[in-house]
Structure 1
Amino acid sequence: MSRLFVAVFPSEEAVDHLRAHLPAPAARRPEKWHVTLAFLGDVPDEGVPVVAAALADVPPPGPIRLRLGGAGRFGSVVWAGVHGDLERLGAFREDVRRALADAGFPIDARPFRPHFTISYRYDRRLATLLDGYSGPSWTVTEFALVDSVDGDYVPVWQRSLAP
């Protein structure tokens, strides 16, 4: 069984910049920071190639510029906001969602709110630090199908956003 999600990841520069602005023990592992486009959850291992094939049919939108800034929370989760070309990112996410649903893997149709989860424990100090944060922009050039294995994120399929 695989625990799958589709995501885009930040540049090393964006990760390093954000990490430098946060207290080390308060933030979750930076190698896990990403923007989730679709969460599939548990998928039988034989379904992984079917998911990858569905994603391969999604029209690539071309590079997308993003930047981290600001903060928010969902319950106890503290997140960094994502800014930039959100209209194109949202349209691409909708294409991904539709392709997965057509392949028999429907995902939640809730509104898309791109963010980076920084901590699963609310910390006012962390939220305050992030509230005024503005990071460097980066260009997203690929997206990935990722498996969560024992707390690590392992890309099992990747594709360029270039047409």
Structure 2
Amino acid sequence: MRLFVAVYPPDDVRRDLRRRLTEAVAGRSLRLTALEKWHVTLAFLGEVSGEGLPGLEDALDRVVLPRGRELRLRGGGGFSGRVTWAGVEGQLGDLSDQVRRAAKEAGVSPDERPFTAHLTVMYAHDDAVRTALETYSGPPWTLDEMTLVRSDPAGTYTTLRTW
């Protein structure tokens, strides 16, 4: 199964961003990713066997979640010209590092690309959306959990566990 560990902003935070992006395109059709999928990936873990899952969960149990840390969606950018994302203000790099170390201890090989805290809003480039993201500063929220998620081939996400 293909897994990742993520932080999900609260619903009101995600709705605020969606409203801002929808207003930015002034009635044009906009192909945003599904709101319920909007998350900040701490670590993409790739394929993990069912037998490896208990060990991974045990290792993630030891991650110290910095509860109470303030986060905010702010600004934005893109990857490879085909991914548009909202940036995240607030420290998540240390948590990402802990999650990656825990995965390695459990025998899982996480993605090694440098961590960039972001929330993917669409798999396309749109000038109006990018412009709206440049000046966007959403409501703050407090970090209170992280989630282990399975990504299915059909594109659905299933929460396996939350800490």
In structure 1, the gaps of 5 or more residues are none
User: What is the deviation of 1:106?
Assistant: 2.3
4+ aligned runs moved over 6 Å, structure 1: none
Residue identity matched to 1:140: L
Match of 1:50 in 2: 55
CA distance in 2, matches of 1:140, 1:59: 12
CA distance in 2, matches of 1:151, 1:110: 22
Match of 1:131 in 2: 134
Residue identity matched to 1:96: V
Aligned ranges 1:14-163 → 2 under 5 Å = 14-23=13-22, 25-75=30-80, 76-84=82-90, 86=91, 89-149=92-152, 150-159=154-163
Query: SS at 1:4's partner residue?
Result: strand
CA distance in 2, matches of 1:108, 1:147: 15
> How many residues are matched?
155
C-alpha contact (below 8 Å) 2:72/2:138 kept by paired residues: yes
- Most deviating of 72-81 and 109-118: 109-118
Q: Which has the higher strand share?
A: 1
CA distance in 1, matches of 2:94, 2:116: 12
In structure 2, the gaps of 5 or more residues are 23-28
* Paired-residue identity, %: 46
What TM-score, normalized to structure 2? Answer: 0.89
Residue identity matched to 1:45: G
Cα-to-partner distance string for 1:37-73 (whole Å, 9 max, x where unaligned): 1101121222222211110121232222110111101
Residue identity matched to 2:58: A
Root mean square deviation, CA, Å: 1.4
